[in-house]
Amino acid sequence: MDYFPPLLFWRPSSLALSLALISMCSWASEYEYLGWKLDGYNSGRSYSKSLQCVDIPEDLRLCHNVGYSQMLLPNLLEHETMAEVRQQAGSWVPLVHKACHPGTQVLLCSLFAPVCLDRPVPPCRWLCEAVKEGCLPVMEAFGFPWPEMLACDKFPQDDVCIANTTSNTTHTTTFTGPTPICPPCGNEMNMETILEHMCASEFAVKAKIKDVRRERADRRVILEKRRRLVKKGDLSKKDLKKLVLYLKNGADCPCPQLENLGQQYLIMGRKVDQKYLLMGIHRWDKSNTEFRKALKAQRNYKCPEFHTVFK
């Protein structure tokens, strides 16, 4: 998936301010940030301490390849240390990998890792709305709401802001993307993807699928009786015996894994509103090196804290 560096967007009335911002852009190690605040955003937090311009580290996977190499701390989410940024940003990497909108990474990194100017520049409201339109169905499929940190009405629509465009296209451009596949089903057999699904899940089991039935807008996935816990979470033995999973809003989208009922799968899920949602499904194949590595790594892998982000 290709990414493009974010661009500043402004109306003509903001041109002077925009040029001033750009002219002040440098790679100094520190900026003085005296009493400036962004109205309506982050509860109007006012920064009275120095901001630092720092390199985006390689292990900040969400933003390391966003199109610029340095960022400001504190950021627009009020993270004051790189450790905070890493922990929170890691929760969003799987959404970027789902390619639900080409501006997803730019939107998120404008908040987590704002480009070095004299002050952080927020994302444009229309960019937020476009990403929300494309990505909310994916998030809902995993049982996650659109979080308050991305409430689009917080962001400016007629001031200097971060946009994602490669030409003179406007914010009305629609991203159609590839033919949609059920988000939990579009999985690559690599360690990183499997671990991401593991982290978003409360439990994981090895099992065959007995039956798949349509239930309103969802699909109900019934497992064979023989099932083995791979990741326990809070799932009790009693819960495991009667475990039925739901593919949320997946009645009509393709899911190749659910068409091969004789195959063993690694099935991941979590409980949302008294239902167990299917978070990921991978063919159980221990002859595959990536699959074996993922099973081994997940025992000690430190996951992002999803519950602190998706509220």
Residue 35 included in any domain? yes
Number of continuous H segments (helices) and E segments (strands) in the chain:
8, 12
Closest of 61, 90, 56, 60 to residue 73, by C-alpha: 56
Q: Supply the CATH number for residue 150's domain.
A: 1.10.2000.10
Q: Report the SS3 class of residue 203.
A: strand
Q: What is the pLDDT of residue 25?
A: 35
pLDDT the model gives residue 299? 83
Q: Is residue 168 assigned to a domain?
A: no
Same domain, 157 and 239: no
Give me the residues of the chain with pLDDT under 70, please. 1-49, 165-180, 304-311
CB atoms within 10 A of CB 46: 11
Range of the structural domain that residue 271 is part of = 183-300
Angle, CA of 286, 288 and 294, to the nearest 5°: 75
Q: What is the structure's pLDDT at 175? A: 40
- The C-alpha atoms of residue 71 and residue 64 are separated, in whole angstroms, by 10
Tokens standing for residue 37: 């605040």
Kindly tell me the burial class for residue 169, based on how many C-beta atoms sit within 10 Å of its own C-beta (0-12, 13-18, 19 or more).
exposed
Residue 261 pLDDT: 84
Q: Is residue 282 part of a domain?
A: yes
Same domain? 143 vs 227: no
* Same domain, yes or no: 84 and 20: yes
Q: Tell whether omega for the bond before 6 is within 30 degrees of 0, i.e. cis.
A: no
Three-state secondary structure call for residue 231:
strand
| In contact, 250 and 218? CB cutoff 8 Å | yes
210 in the same domain as 142 = no
- Burial (0-12, 13-18, 19+ Cβ within 10 Å), 183: buried
Shared-domain flag, residues 153 and 194 = no
Residues 153, 38 share a domain: yes
User: 268 forms bridges with which residues in the sheet?
Assistant: 204, 280
User: For residue 246, what is the domain's CATH number?
Assistant: 2.40.50.120
Query: What pLDDT is attached to residue 29?
Result: 30
Residues 267 and 137 in one domain: no
pLDDT tens-digit series, residues 75-107: 999 899 999 898 889 889 888 888 889 999 999
